[in-house]
Amino acid sequence: MLKFPKNFQIGASMSAMQTEGRGTTKIGKLTMDTYFEEHPQLFHNQVGPELTSDITNHYVEDIGLFKEIGLDSLRTGFSWARLFPDGVTLNQEAVEYYHKFIQEFKKQNIKIFMTLFHFDMPMWAHELGGWSSNEVIEKFVNYCNFVFQEFENEVDYYVTFNEPLVTVFEGYTGVMHYPAINEPKLAAQQAYGIFLAHAKVVQSFRKFQLKAPIGVVYNWNFTFPFSQSQADIKAARIYDAYVNRGPLNIMANGTIDPVLIQTLKDYQVLPKYTPEELEIIKAVKVDFLGINYYFPCRVKSIASTNPSWVLETMKIEIPKTAKINPYRGWEIYPQGLYDISMAIKTEFNNIPWYVAENGMGVENEDQYRGSDGVINDDYRIEYLQDHMGQIKKGLDNGSSCFGYHIWTAIDCWSFRNAYKNRYGLIEVNLKDQSRKLKKSAYWYQELIKNKDK
């Protein structure tokens, strides 16, 4: 079995919206609530965001199970819409809930990472223009400042955004998130607003002089050209500037790729900005990175008639020889984590970082249930072994990686996929909200026990 250093954190991730549902306190309406109300047929089995895994009623039990597995740390988050349902009025019940929730982790000696925004846009904020609105950005900064002042060092690690551009690409040039439109210029403006909001929050955080560090969690699905043709190499370079290294560099150290700026200008989709805002973005420095990795992006140049922006001149193509997760259609390429380890070492000054999400989603896991009632998810154990082996290889070669979080601790609701593909170490029965450890949880437990003493 793999052996990691004593101080290497082995844990799990989840999120507020995907586990809390409506919860036990008042919460404001989210864009995903509206999407479900308008188009319930688009959601798997028409399961919406109302209940999810009901963790606000089960958190003591759930954190007890996390302790039983032996998790060193866990990442979840605050809900902006729960703390400030209308964007202005503080919900004191929610404040009390989050204090109790975090303290339960303290009781069990599990470190807690708390994310400030994980796909859960309040509907009122969307109606004001989302991240293209300076008013929304300022309200977000105010919400974050409240959190820093109220929770201080109860939180071990603060995270500004999780996968910040997913809601942009999937909401403004895709269909998985609300408002499900295709408007690249608006997408660029939303992305710019996120970069500005992130930078302002980090800038403001420094004034509180907390012991806890602050970082960002970014989905780095490592970019490769599909072939060694000049067209594919060029396409991969541009894709990387938009989707992987480019945004990550902006949020980690305020560096803006000139390829990004030039191609936005070429297609006349450059967002509006001010020189003062750019200076705030360029000054940002985070303390650590969280990296979500599921698959590589192999980029192929394609012919496109009247593309509205440069990303419409390329696509992701999976090699015919690749290993695939058939339930998601994603390539399984563990070596990507080693590539990321070495890239952070050489390109990001070996900043402290951890794997914030990595895991395998499988449909209809009940088919793997044994006579003892336990789901025998050997496919997940194999996936974990292969990917964590690449992290260990990175550590042996000087990587500054300080931990690994599987997605996810417990089966989570996942937007339009709902509970179609399950990722948890812990099974959730949606009929009675009962919990049961899967075989992978026991394997993970042994892996944690096997760390250096």
Question: What is the 8-class DSSP label of residue 23?
Answer: -
> What residues have CB less than 8 Å from 446, skipping those under 6 apart?
1
| Phi, psi dihedrals of residue 223, rounded to the nearest 5° | -90, 130
Catalytic residues: 163, 357
Specify burial of residue 92 (Cβ count, 10 A radius: 0-12, 13-18, 19+).
exposed
Specify burial of residue 276 (Cβ count, 10 A radius: 0-12, 13-18, 19+).
exposed
Q: Is 62 helix (H, G, I), strand (E, B) or coil?
A: helix
| Phi, psi dihedrals of residue 144, rounded to the nearest 5° | -65, -40
Report the alpha-carbon distance of residue 286 to residue 233 in Å, rounded: 30
Asked whether the beta carbons of 308 and 267 are under 8 A apart, the reply is: yes
- Measured CA to CA in angstroms, residue 313 lies from 243, 304, 309, 320 at distances of 14, 6, 8, 22
> What residues have CB less than 8 Å from 108, skipping those under 6 apart?
63, 64, 66, 67
Question: What is the 8-class DSSP label of residue 116?
Answer: E
Asked whether the beta carbons of 435 and 427 are under 8 A apart, the reply is: yes
Q: Write out the H or E segment, with its range, that includes residue 217.
A: strand 214-219
Asked whether the beta carbons of 375 and 439 are under 8 A apart, the reply is: yes
Rg from Cα positions in the chain: 21
Parallel, antiparallel, or unpaired: how do β-strands 330-331 and 362-363 relate?
Answer: unpaired
- CA-based diameter of the chain, in Å? 65
